[in-house]
Amino acid sequence: MDVEILYVVMAILFILNASVSVFLMKRDDLDTFQKGAQMLLVWLVPFLAAIGVWLLNRSQDIQVTQDKTFGGGVSDSIGPGAE
């Protein structure tokens, strides 16, 4: 029973580390050294570093918000007051 729980925990850690490693490899804003250093940190400190590095890099992303209105509204491209 205990061995099965250990295997499940190890599988979850491996999947988490692998997914964060893929996430880091796809980032264009990091150079090769930064990617390598962060991936080394993720694999040396499995759970905490993987979540920490992922959260750090996700916080650097630009949030794109979509306007709720459709078809212009107050920020119409014609200009203010044009009717």
* Domain boundary assignment for the chain: 2-58
From residue 41, give the alpha-carbon distance in Å to each of 3, 20, 24: 27, 11, 12
Specify the pTM: 0.59
pLDDT at 32: 92
pLDDT in tens, 45-73: 877 888 888 888 887 776 656 656 555 55
User: From start to end of the chain, where are the E strands?
Assistant: none
pLDDT in tens, 16-33: 889 989 998 998 888 999
CB count within 10 Å of CB 38 equals 23
The Cα 10–Cα 69 span in angstroms is 47
Q: Residue 2: pLDDT band by 50, 70, 90 thresholds?
A: confident
Residues across the chain: 83
| Whole-angstrom Cα Rg for the chain | 21
